[in-house]
Amino acid sequence: MNLKKRRKIRDRQDAEKCLKKWRKSGLSMSEWAAENRVDGRSLNAWLQSMKRQADVERGKRAGLVELVLPEKTKAAEFQPFVVKVGEYEVEVPPSFDDAALLRLLSVVRSAC
Q: What is the pLDDT of residues 41-94, one digit of tens each?
A: 999 999 999 888 887 777 765 556 677 777 665 555 677 888 887 787 888 887
pTM: 0.49
The pLDDT score that the predictor gives to residue 16 is 94
The pLDDT score that the predictor gives to residue 38 is 93
The answer to whether the CB of 112 falls within 8 A of the CB of 86 is yes
pLDDT at 18 over 80: yes
Q: Coil, strand or helix: which one is 80? A: coil
**Where is pLDDT greater, at 102 or 31?**
31
The pLDDT score that the predictor gives to residue 64 is 62
Provide the b/e sequence for 38-53 (b: ≥16 CB within 10 Å): bbbebbeebbeeeeee
Average pLDDT of span 32-45: 92
The Cα–Cα gap between 39 and 18 comes to 11
The Cα–Cα gap between 23 and 25 comes to 5
Nearest 5 degrees, angle CA 55-CA 66-CA 58?
15
**Where is pLDDT greater, at 112 or 101?**
101
